Amino acid sequence: MYSNHYIYEVDAIYDSVEAKRLIRTYLLEEHVTVYLKRLCESTFYLPFIVLFSVAFGFPVAAQVEKPKDEKKGLPLKTERKVEFTTNEGTWLSLDISPDGKTIIFDLLGELYRLPVSGGTAKPFMTGLAFDSQPRFSPDGKMIAFVSDRSGSNNLWISNADGSIAKQLSKEDQAEFASPIWTPDGDYVIVSKASQSSVGAYDLWIYHRLGGAGLRISKGKPPASAPGAPPRPGPNSYGAIPTKDGKYIYYARQSTGNRSGLSIRNCQIVRRNRITGEEDMITFARGNAFRPLVSNNGNTLIFGTRYEGKTGLKIRDLNSGEERWLKYPIQRDEQESRATRDLLPGYVFTPDQKHIIISYGGKIHRVAVADGRSTQIPFSAKVSLDVGPSLYVPRKLDRGAVKARLIQEPEVSPNGKSIVFSALTAVYAMDLGTRRPRRLTKTSDPREFQPSWSPDGNWIAFVSWSTGGGHIWKMRSNGSGIPQKLTQTPAFYKEPVWTPDGKQIIALQTSRLTRVNHPSDFLAPQPGLDIVKLPANGGKSEIIVPSRGLGKPHFSTEKDRIYVYGNQGLISFRFDGTDRRTHFKVEGKRRRSRPSPARDVRISPDGKHGLALVSGQIYYFAVPRAGGNTPTINVGKSPVPIKKLSNIGADSFGWSRDSKTVYWTVGSSFYRQRASTISFEPPKKQDDKKEPNGSKKKIEEEERSPAEEINIAVQRQRFTPRGTAVLRGGRAITMRGKEIIEDSDIVIVNDRISAIGRRGSVSIPSNARVFDINGKTVIPGLIDIHAHWEVRHSVLDTEDYTFWGNLAYGVTTGRDPQTNSNDTFAYQDLVETGEMIGPRIFSTGPGLFSDQDFKTYKQAKDTVARYQKHYRTNTLKSYLVGNRKQRQWVVRASKELGIIPTTEGGSNLKLNLTHAIDGFAGNEHALPVVPIYDDVIQLYAKSGITYTPTLVVTYGGPQAKYYFFEKGDIYSDKKLQRFNPQAVLDEKMSRIPWFRDSEHIFPQIAKGAADILAAGGRVGIGGHGELQGLQCHWEMWGFAMGGMKNHDVLRTATIMGAEAIGFGQELGSLEKGKMADLIVLDKNPLDDIRNTNTIRFVMKNGEMFEGDTLNQVYPQSKRLPTPWWWKGKPY
């Protein structure tokens, strides 16, 4: 904030005509300008310079680039240029100067100036920061705008030429929309959404000279249920203060979600600036938003919807009469995350006879009297510095399969050995020799979650198949055979011995409850009870219903069971009585609520606790205060707390003597003596002196004393043996536009060894020939936004998800965000041949905003977890935080050779920064439709792979409802074969209905087609909406947007392969590539819906019938009978 000293001095200078004359007489303007530029380097002089330059009319620069020390805010080093000239813009917010001569607008995060008559738009604020929504001050000498140049979104002001920018708000994680000056030019009103408002937009007012700002909107959030997270209140958008200073008009949008099933009510509210009283003044059926009020206060213009399209209405505020001003215009953002308001900014001309507004990609002058529109032509030369290319071509792994995960290890009572599960078998390992050995000798192991007896002589574990599971025990030295302890086949998990070794505590539910639970992705297994049974076997007895409680464990009271759940750490006695709640642990906020701890364990001596929060391990002192249950937030803890892991953690535990803690990441086991853990913060290192005398800040780094032990469990990789020829079919190779009629495709083992016209390639004498005359062969489909509905921890190897995808021709999939790391275990099982399914790739758990990276090192450590420990080449930066934090992920990915994808969360501005910063992929749709040449060129030239996942459309009704309605799901025998009835019921029961005209996915698909035509990259993403068939829906949706059939196939094959780094191995029919292909009865170039006429699917050289998934080559094998084929009433 400026001091009074400076204000008085500048006021005096400003009012002195003589001072102006003297300066202009004795100093050359260019010398003053240069001097002011130099003074800009010191924030001490900034207050003086801002007002000085305005007073004397010395612009610091005609076109201002971001300061050279901007890296303090945005750390990314750009490596490429995106350049093009365009006469179209998507979602242009604009304003006109008070003299009516100049229009300013935002385009792809840069600000431009344009004569009101049109012509060449000149950039005046450029650089890496995303600047948007500029607004002139009433005198035209300054502008307000939103920028992320500080590293996060904030409200800024500057001179009208963009020079001497000043940050008004000081937010780390926030969004700002629609800044507007008050008529006196002293304040800026803006809509702000932050963590404190639970993501809802409130109206705030900031003084141009400083201060923390003041919230002025009156909307209150709805009450939350007891124990539930706070709910966001209504959104307040698009404030317009009246010229006389009496009122503010704005749009208030009611609470709710953006599910695409309904549109939240939104109406115009008038606020009295003196009394604070508010009145709703519109009651429009199509809602009302983005108000604009004339200078005389008599006319209100606002946006509304009619028959699914957006238009402008005009109201006489004296009579209340309304008429249409312009229809249709730009589609509003009522159904997406409106981070730049529900409509782009528009404005009255100074004479109040016209409005200037953007729609259809152009800028228009619209007459207020009759709505006649005149285009204001513009041309903008765009030159953007963009981040590095993050595509890293890879080869598929060969040789033995090394388990990516050791699951839930437990340390022996003497601390010398561990037991764990890997590749569905139980292993034991001496921590001295570090050589894992199979504990059991079962031929088809399905064994999980081993646990030591107190004397160290026995190991308990659970088994599971869809026929039912049991609890077993086995001698810890491997002698003898496993002994079954339970009497009833059921689903069991988390077995643990009581301290006296006489009983085993576990979680249990029925077999049917387990198999009918489609997935652990969104919700944990329901119906579990905490049970006990004799350690020598017998009937299990229910202690209490679990209701979300986790792994049982013990502390100082040996007859008290501890478990962690949503309410916190709970304990009770063996009969379920004397229930106590000890404390609760949570992390930093993710959207509207703190991140809950995934699990918490109290130490055996009861003095300390371990918590797994946001993928990291925390060690803390246990509070014992009595009274209300204390909450330990790892970011601001009431008790001493220490983060032990840098890279992350999957599971954790205590030694029996509480002297050692351990955790795992992937196949690495870490252990640390409790005596080495200090709650004192690490000592700060001195700054490093540079050669020029400046100081470089050194990031704090505390070296972990934990010991890392890498554990290698290996199995042979499955490779089929045999030679086959597919003869006579039409091969659409995806090698350019090549189509080979009457082809021979030679398969040797798992690869294509030759392809060409019949007779042009050598056929091995031992080849088995398949006559596919009249059929069409395409590469296998690659779903780069899959979501597999899998079970966690206790794995299910008979998974309908993988069967269904393979049967529908999906031979490769990449799941971007799995909620857990278990998908890596399923990947290993497919690669060893123990499961039927596509090639499985995964990003693992996504990086979310609750990671809240404070330094680049923290970001790099986390990214390294995926590369080193999960051995994956891809990760998902999932709304990871502010711009600086996202750029850290880009930088770390570049250094470590990781391909990062991301998503914009229905936020177009965020999507655009992803392309600028260099992310390799962007998941989900750009929510604004249509997109125009500026966005099309940015996405095409940046090289980002756009995967719109039409089936879960952003910005409107989801495309899956269109296909559900048009298809006959329940009579489709193939769907019935590969989906349990409960899954189909969940997808189909009481689905909403939409008019065809309400669906916007064809417009989103057109945008994807335009990006592809401009040389960009597009992929398909089925999102797991109906396993297998959803990828065909995605392709058909692309065609409905005008994409050519051959291009549709490109997106589903070779482009998907390149997006995940395996373009040299997958995605086309070429010599040396993997034998992944589909044989179709009909040609998809004639009709794209022929992609679903699947006769055979070949994956990795094995060929299956499309309708049955019975294997026909190189062996003949029927698909095992799954559980869901049984028990039907007919």
Using N-to-C axis directions, what is the helix angle for 17-26 and 46-56, rounded to 10°? 90
Angle at 699 between CA 697 and CA 704, to 5 degrees: 155
Same domain, 13 and 66: no
Q: How far apart are the first and last CA of the chain?
A: 77
Confidence of residue 588 (pLDDT cuts 50, 70, 90): confident
The rounded percent of the chain whose pLDDT value lies above 90 is 81
The rounded percent of the chain whose pLDDT value lies above 70 is 90
Can you give the pLDDT at residue 379? 98
Q: How far apart are CA 531 and CA 545, in angstroms?
A: 9
Can you give the pLDDT at residue 38? 39
Q: At which of 384, 406, 427 does a domain end?
A: 384
CATH number at residue 268: 2.120.10.30
Same domain, 185 and 293: yes
Q: At which of 332, 367, 384 does a domain end?
A: 384
| 887 in a structural domain | no
Report cis status (omega within 30 of 0) of the bond before 138.
Answer: no
Q: How far apart are CA 683 and CA 1008, in angstroms?
A: 52
Same domain, 27 and 77: no
Same domain, 283 and 191: yes
Does the pTM surpass 0.85? The reply is yes
Counting other chains too, the contacts that 625-631 makes at CB distance below 8 Å and 24 or more residues apart are 629/567, 629/568, 629/581, 629/582, 629/583, 629/584, 630/583, 630/584, 631/568, 631/583, 631/584, 631/585, 631/586
| 344 in a structural domain | yes
Same domain, 77 and 24: no
Nearest to 527 by CA among 549, 551, 504, 510: 510
Q: Do 964 and 988 meet the contact criterion of CB atoms below 8 Å apart?
A: yes
Distances (CA, A) of 522 to 517, 791, 792, 817: 11, 11, 11, 12
pLDDT per position as a tens digit, 1034-1053? 999 999 999 999 999 999 99
Question: Residue 782 class from Cβ within 10 Å (0-12 exposed, 13-18 middle, 19+ buried)?
Answer: buried
List, in sequence order, every beta strand (DSSP E) within 904-970.
Answer: 921-923, 945-947
Residue 57, C-beta contacts closer than 8 angstroms, at least 6 positions apart = none
Confidence of residue 224 (pLDDT cuts 50, 70, 90): low
Can you give the pLDDT at residue 223? 65
Same domain, 65 and 160: yes
Domain span at 271: 61-82+93-221+230-384
Q: How far apart are CA 331 and CA 311, in angstroms?
A: 8
| 145 in a structural domain | yes
Can you give the pLDDT at residue 701? 54
Mean pLDDT of the chain: 90
Token pair 């800040």 is found at 697
DSSP 408: E
Same domain, 779 and 923: yes
Same domain, 190 and 139: yes
On the question of pLDDT at 3 being above 60, the answer is no
Strand pairing of 599-602 and 593-596?
Answer: unpaired
Q: What is the mean pLDDT of residues 682-708?
A: 63
Confidence of residue 592 (pLDDT cuts 50, 70, 90): low
Dihedral angle at the C-alpha atoms of 817, 819, 822, 823, nearest 10 degrees? Answer: -20
CATH number at residue 773: 3.20.20
On the question of pLDDT at 64 being above 70, the answer is no
Coil, strand or helix at 1129: coil
3-state percent helix, strand, coil for the chain, nearest multiple of 5: 20, 35, 45
Q: Do 965 and 1019 meet the contact criterion of CB atoms below 8 Å apart?
A: no
Q: How far apart are CA 659 and CA 675, in angstroms?
A: 7
| 796 in a structural domain | yes
Nearest to 667 by CA among 869, 840, 871: 869
On the question of pLDDT at 857 being above 70, the answer is yes
Count H helices, E strands: the chain?
Answer: 18, 74
Q: How far apart are CA 371 and CA 314, in angstroms?
A: 10
Q: What is the mean pLDDT of residues 922-934?
A: 97
Residue 1117 main-chain phi, psi, to 5 deg: -140, 135
Q: How far apart are CA 70 and CA 658, in angstroms?
A: 48
Residue 2, C-beta contacts closer than 8 angstroms, at least 6 positions apart = 47, 209, 210
Q: How far apart are CA 846 and CA 902, in angstroms?
A: 9
Angle at 1015 between CA 1012 and CA 1016, to 5 degrees: 60
| 442 in a structural domain | no
pLDDT per position as a tens digit, 746-796? 999 999 999 999 999 999 999 999 999 999 999 999 999 999 988 899 999
On the question of pLDDT at 1101 being above 60, the answer is yes
For 1008-1019, the DSSP string reads HHHHHHTT-EE-
| 468 in a structural domain | no
On the question of pLDDT at 189 being above 80, the answer is yes
| 896 in a structural domain | no
| Token code pair at residue 965 | 């309605």
Q: How far apart are CA 1037 and CA 1048, in angstroms?
A: 9
Dihedral angle at the C-alpha atoms of 83, 85, 86, 87, nearest 10 degrees? Answer: 160
Q: How far apart are CA 484 and CA 540, in angstroms?
A: 13
Can you give the pLDDT at residue 175? 96
On the question of pLDDT at 688 being above 80, the answer is no
On the question of pLDDT at 9 being above 60, the answer is no
Confidence of residue 963 (pLDDT cuts 50, 70, 90): very high
For 639-692, the DSSP string reads S-EEE--SS--SEEEE-TTSSEEEEEETTEEEEEEGGG---SPPPPPPPEEPTT
Q: How far apart are CA 852 and CA 801, in angstroms?
A: 33
Candidate from 274-283, 699-708, 1059-1068, 1121-1130 with smallest mean pLDDT: 699-708
Residue 327, C-beta contacts closer than 8 angstroms, at least 6 positions apart = 306, 309, 311, 312
Same domain, 31 and 139: no
Same domain, 29 and 147: no
On the question of pLDDT at 101 being above 60, the answer is yes
| 947 in a structural domain | yes
Can you give the pLDDT at residue 969? 86
Does residue 93 or residue 1126 have the better pLDDT? Answer: 93
Please state the domain count of the chain: 3
pLDDT per position as a tens digit, 1061-1091? 999 999 999 999 999 999 999 999 999 999 9
Same domain, 124 and 2: no
Can you give the pLDDT at residue 519? 80
On the question of pLDDT at 334 being above 80, the answer is yes
Same domain, 332 and 281: yes
| Token code pair at residue 545 | 């219903």
Indicate if the alpha-carbon torsion angle 535, 541, 544, 546 is positive or negative.
positive
pLDDT per position as a tens digit, 422-433? 999 999 999 999
Candidate from 119-128, 352-361, 843-852 with smallest mean pLDDT: 843-852
